[in-house]
C-alpha cells in the first residue's frame, strides 16, 4: 500500500514551495495568460501528476486510478448538477417564464433606488446564483439597475457585492459538494458549517448596497430594508443549509427575502423616494413609475413562480435527510494509502482514501426530474413547444462545455494532489503558523477564487489542505474548510473569469480590469469582516464547526 512522504526533498520549506507549483502554475495560466479555464486545469493536472510521481513517488497505477476517480466525481457530483440547473434556467428563458418573472419583480420595486436594489441585486441576485451561478447574476441584474438610472460600472459593482453571500451555495450547491468530495466530510455537516458563517456574513452586504446607491443619508432613511433584507435571506438560507443540505439555501433564502421585503413595503415606505446617489425622485415621475404594471394576470404571476416551486418541492423531498434516495449506491471504487500525517494506518483502516461513488439518485438527478416536470407543465400550458427543447440543449451545451471539462480536470488534479501527499506536505508546513492560520484560511479562499473565478475549483484545490492544517492544529474539523469556501465568496467581485461573464450585457465588455479595480476596495472590507467572524467563531463558538 502506498505510503505518503511528508518531506521528499529533506527540506520542508523547499518541499512546500514545490507543492505550491501546481497551484501557482494554474493561477498564472488563468490570471496572467488568460487561458480558458478548461485548458488551464488540464495543463495544471498534468503538472500535478508529473510532480506527484517524480517528487512524491506516487505509484503510477494508483495515481492514475486516483485521477480517474477524481475526474468521475467531477462529472457525476458537480457537472451533473450544474448542467441540469442550466437546462432548467434556459427552459425558463426560452419559454418566456423568466422574462415574466423579471417583469413582475420590476413592478414591485416602485420608484426608490434602495427598494429596487434590495429586490433586484440582493434577493433576485441570490435566486440567480442559487440556480445558475457562473457570473450570470451580474449579467442579468446589472442591466436592470442600469435601466433604473445607475451608471454601468456602479451597477456592475452593486450586482457583484450583492452576489457575495450566496456564492457558496451557487449552482445548486456545487461548491459545497466539491468541498465534501475532497475532504471526505459529510455533505450535510459542511453545508451547515458554511451556512453558519454565511448567516453572519449576510448581515453586512445589504447595508453596503444601500450606501453604494444612496449614500450615508439614504442608508439611514432606508435601514428597515437592510435589516429585513439580511434577516429574510438568513431565515430562508440558514435552516435549509443546516437541515436539508447545500442544494436549495440560496433559492429559499431569496424567496423568503422577497416575501419579507414585500410584506415590509405593505406597512412601511421610505419617507422620501430617492434615486441613484440619494437625490430625491420627482413626485410626478414616481407616480408614473408606480402606475407602470407588469401586465400579468394573477394566473400569469403564478405561472412565473411555478418553476421555482417545483424545484423546491422536488429537490427538498428528494435530497432531504428523510429520503433514502441519495444513499443508494450502485458502484464504488477507491484508491487507498497511508497518510504521512497519520499516527496509525493498516490495510483494514487506511488513512488516505480517494473514491468514486456512483450514487444514481444524487442531487443532479433530482434537478433533472424537476426540469422534466417543469417542461411537461409548460408544454401543457402552451408556453413551450417541443421543437424548442433542441434549442434549449444546444444553448446549454454551448454555454457549459468548458465548465463541464473544468469539472473533470480540476477534480482529477485535486485527487492526485491529495492522494500523493502534496496537500499533506503543505499542511505540515503551514501548521507551523499555529492558530494564526485562522486568519490565512479565508485569505487563501479569497485569492484562489479571485484568480480562478470558481468557488467550486477553489474548494477542490484547497479544501483538503485546509482540513489537514486544521487536523494538525487541533481545530474544529469543519472550521478551516468552511472559511475557505466563504473566503472564496468574497473574492468573486474581482475574479476576471466571473467579470468577463458579468460585464457581457454592459458597455464594459473586454474592460474587466476597470470593473475589478472598481470592486476591489469593498471586497477587502468584506474580507476583513470575514476574518473577524472567523476569529470570533473559533474563540466563542467552536462547537458549531465540530462533526456531530
User: What three-state secondary structure class fits 357?
Assistant: strand
Stretches in the chain below the pLDDT threshold 70? 283-293, 497, 505, 510
Tell me how far apart the terminal alpha carbons of the chain are, to the nearest angstrom.
Answer: 31
Q: How many domains does the chain have?
A: 1
pLDDT at position 199 is: 96
Contact 181, 363 (CB under 8 A): no
Distance CA(22)–CA(409), nearest Å, equals 13
pLDDT at position 406 is: 87
* Inside any domain, residue 513: yes
* Inside any domain, residue 224: yes
* Inside any domain, residue 346: no
Instruction: Give pTM, 2 decimals.
Output: 0.89
Instruction: Quote the Cα angle for 179-41-492, to 5°.
Output: 55
pLDDT at position 292 is: 58
| The three cell numbers locating residue 468 | 489537514
* Inside any domain, residue 337: no
pLDDT at position 483 is: 97
User: Do you know the residue count of the chain?
Assistant: 548
Among 2, 77, 37, 150, smallest CA distance to 355 is for 77
* Inside any domain, residue 345: no
pLDDT at position 289 is: 54
pLDDT at position 246 is: 96
pLDDT at position 287 is: 56
Instruction: Give the domain extent around 282.
Output: 2-328+358-545
344-376 burial, b at 16+ Cβ within 10 Å, e below that, comes to ebeeeebbbbbbbbebebbbbbbbbbbbebbbe
Distance CA(122)–CA(232), nearest Å, equals 11
* Inside any domain, residue 350: no
For 334, residues 6+ apart whose C-beta sits below 8 A from its C-beta are 69, 353, 354, 355, 356
* Inside any domain, residue 338: no
Distance CA(249)–CA(126), nearest Å, equals 9
Contact 92, 375 (CB under 8 A): no
pLDDT at position 328 is: 95
* Inside any domain, residue 341: no
pLDDT at position 107 is: 83
Amino acid at each position: 500500500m502506498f505510503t505518503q512522504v511528508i518531506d521528499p526533498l529533506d527540506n520542508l520549506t523547499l518541499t512546500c514551495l514545490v507543492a505550491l507549483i501546481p497551484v501557482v502554475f494554474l493561477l498564472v495560466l488563468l490570471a496572467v495568460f488568460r487561458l480558458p479555464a478548461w485548458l488551464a486545469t488540464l495543463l495544471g493536472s498534468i503538472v500535478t501528476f508529473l510532480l506527484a510521481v517524480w517528487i512524491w513517488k506516487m505509484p503510477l497505477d494508483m495515481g492514475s486510478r486516483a485521477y480517474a476517480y477524481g475526474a468521475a466525481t467531477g462529472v457525476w457530483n458537480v457537472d451533473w448538477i450544474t448542467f441540469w440547473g442550466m437546462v432548467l434556467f434556459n427552459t425558463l428563458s426560452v419559454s418566456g417564464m423568466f422574462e415574466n418573472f423579471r417583469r413582475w419583480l420590476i413592478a414591485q420595486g416602485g420608484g426608490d433606488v434602495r427598494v429596487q436594489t434590495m429586490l433586484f441585486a440582493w434577493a433576485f441576485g441570490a435566486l440567480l446564483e442559487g440556480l445558475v451561478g457562473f457570473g450570470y447574476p451580474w449579467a442579468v441584474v446589472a442591466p436592470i439597475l442600469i435601466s433604473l438610472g445607475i451608471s454601468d460600472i456602479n451597477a456592475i459593482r452593486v450586482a457583484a457585492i450583492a452576489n457575495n453571500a450566496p456564492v457558496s451555495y451557487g449552482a445548486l450547491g456545487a461548491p459545497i459538494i466539491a468541498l465534501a468530495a475532497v475532504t471526505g466530510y459529510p455533505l450535510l455537516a459542511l453545508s451547515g458549517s458554511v451556512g453558519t458563517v454565511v448567516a453572519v456574513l449576510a448581515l453586512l452586504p445589504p447595508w453596503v448596497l444601500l450606501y453604494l446607491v444612496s449614500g450615508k443619508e439614504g442608508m439611514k432613511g432606508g435601514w428597515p430594508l437592510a435589516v429585513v433584507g439580511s434577516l429574510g435571506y438568513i431565515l430562508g438560507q440558514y435552516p435549509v443549509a443546516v437541515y436539508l443540505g447545500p442544494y436549495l439555501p440560496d433559492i429559499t433564502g431569496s424567496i423568503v427575502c422577497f416575501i419579507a421585503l414585500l410584506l415590509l413595503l405593505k406597512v412601511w415606505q421610505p419617507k422620501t423616494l430617492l434615486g441613484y446617489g440619494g437625490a430625491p425622485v420627482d413626485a410626478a415621475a414616481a407616480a408614473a413609475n408606480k402606475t407602470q404594471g407588469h401586465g400579468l394576470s394573477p394566473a400569469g404571476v403564478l405561472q412565473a413562480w411555478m418553476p421555482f416551486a417545483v424545484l423546491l418541492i422536488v429537490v427538498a423531498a428528494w435530497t432531504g435527510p428523510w429520503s433514502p434516495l441519495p444513499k443508494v449506491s450502485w458502484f464504488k471504487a477507491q484508491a487507498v494509502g497511508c497518510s504521512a500525517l497519520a499516527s496509525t494506518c493498516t490495510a483494514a483502516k487506511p488513512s488516505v482514501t480517494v473514491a468514486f461513488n456512483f450514487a444514481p439518485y444524487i442531487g443532479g438527478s433530482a434537478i433533472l426530474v424537476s426540469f422534466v416536470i417543469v417542461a411537461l407543465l409548460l408544454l401543457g400550458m402552451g408556453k413551450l413547444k417541443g421543437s424548442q427543447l433542441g434549442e434549449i440543449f444546444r444553448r446549454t451545451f454551448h454555454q457549459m462545455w468548458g465548465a463541464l471539462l473544468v469539472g473533470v480536470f480540476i477534480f482529477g488534479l485535486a485527487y492526485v494532489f491529495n492522494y500523493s501527499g502534496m496537500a499533506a506536505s503543505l499542511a505540515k508546513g503551514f501548521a507551523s503558523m499555529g492558530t494564526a492560520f485562522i486568519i490565512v484560511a479565508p485569505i487563501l479562499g479569497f485569492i484562489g477564487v479571485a484568480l480562478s473565478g470558481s468557488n467550486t475549483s477553489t474548494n477542490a484545490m484547497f479544501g483538503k489542505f485546509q482540513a489537514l492544517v486544521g487536523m494538525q492544529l487541533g481545530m474544529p474539523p469543519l472550521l478551516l474548510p468552511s472559511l475557505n469556501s466563504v473566503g472564496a465568496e468574497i473574492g468573486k467581485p474581482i475574479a476576471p473569469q466571473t467579470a468577463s461573464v458579468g460585464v457581457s450585457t454592459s458597455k464594459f465588455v473586454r474592460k474587466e480590469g476597470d470593473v475589478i479595480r472598481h470592486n476591489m476596495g469593498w471586497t477587502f472590507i468584506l474580507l476583513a469582516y470575514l476574518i473577524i467572524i472567523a476569529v470570533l467563531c473559533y474563540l466563542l463558538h467552536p462547537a458549531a464547526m465540530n462533526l456531530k
